[in-house]
Amino acid sequence: MADSPNLPVDLSGVSESLLWNLYQRAAEASRRDAILRDPKAVELVRLIDYPFAEKFGKGKLGQWQALRVLCFDQQVGAFLREHPCGQVVALGEGLETQFWRVDNGQVRWLGVELPDIVELRGQLLPDEEPRQRTVACSALSEEWMEHVDASDGLLLTAQGLFMYFQPEEVHALITTCARRFPGAALVFDGVPPWFSERTLAGKMKTSGGYASPPMPWAIDAAEKDRLRALPNVAEVSDLIPPAGRGLLRGHVYPLLNRLSAVREMGLTGLPLQRLCFGHDPAAG
């Protein structure tokens, strides 16, 4: 790959947010004392012609993003230890490089993205293994579900996706997955209500003027109860990010994160959830 930016990328709305995630990951991974290794993300940011620093700032949220990413990686790692040949489905995969961070040489990987992002991903991060596949469709459609093979275990992930959906869309998607993939698990993140309200009011802006797209779906204790009440949802549990670097993220936040009220407020990082589907959808 060339070293100077030579691939102009022009995205808007929710799709542009994938560049924010990529940039923060790369910012963290570029540090000597990085808590996340992600050489592919660093390489991509070098390659893409986009005013990253101008729009998103200096990457100060790199560690914040990396801890969220590491929590997802830990979940995938734990799943693969139990199901080495299992399938991981990454909904709204954007330019995530997680496959290369967690690949055990056997995992089967299915990315699901909107068609224009699949095209971009094909140029920048083409599937390299026969075990990798990307489906171009909305995560909200049932089309991608036809490509799922849960015979060796199935983990669904949705990193940085559900918050952009309407609550009824999130509920319908989870209900369909719980019916179609009994015994599988779903790992996802969300935003707390105060954060959602700020995005809806257009108040979540970087110093460079980049505004977070509206995030209509938020998660709190009441929403977790609503998810628990969906058919064939057997368990909804909070995930706790690992400890990071420095006094705050290395010591204070891990202590605070033991309190569910703190996790729900989203002040130490976005709330992360793991949801398990029951084995018998007919049992409700």
Ligand X SMILES: C[S@@+](CC[C@H](N)C(=O)[O-])C[C@H]1O[C@@H](n2cnc3c(N)ncnc32)[C@H](O)[C@@H]1O
Binding site for ligand X (CB under 6 A): 14-15, 17-18, 21, 92-94, 96, 112-114, 117, 138-140, 159-161, 164
CB of 121 to ligand X, least distance (A): 9
Type of residue at 47: L
Residues 6+ apart with CB under 8 A from 173: 139, 140, 165
Q: How many CB atoms lie within 10 A of CB 2?
A: 8
In the chain, what's the furthest Cα-to-Cα distance? 57
Shortest approach of ligand X to residue 100 CB, angstroms?
A: 13
Using the minimum distance from each CB to ligand X, give the nearer residue, 30 or 278: 30
281 vs 284: CA distance, rounded Å? 6
Contact 25, 40 (CB under 8 A): no
Structure-block tokens of residue 276: 């398990």
- Closer of 89 and 117 to ligand X (Cβ): 117
CB 86 within 8 A of CB 153: yes
Q: Which is nearer to ligand X, 4 or 12 (CB)?
A: 12
Residue 158's beta-bridge partner residues? 91, 188
Q: Minimum CB separation from ligand X for residue 22, in Å?
A: 6
Closest alpha carbon to 180 in 147, 222, 158: 147
Question: How far is residue 141's CA from residue 125's CA, in Å, rounded to a whole number?
Answer: 24
Residue 17 CB, nearest distance to ligand X (Å)? 4
Tell me the closest approach of the beta carbon of residue 255 to ligand X, in angstroms: 27
Residues counted in the chain: 284
What tokens were used for 1?
């790959």
Which CB atom, from 145 or from 234, has the smaller least distance to ligand X?
A: 145
User: In this complex, which beta carbon is closest to ligand X, that of residue 116 or of residue 129?
Assistant: 116
Q: Minimum CB separation from ligand X for residue 171, in Å?
A: 15
Q: Which is nearer to ligand X, 215 or 236 (CB)?
A: 215
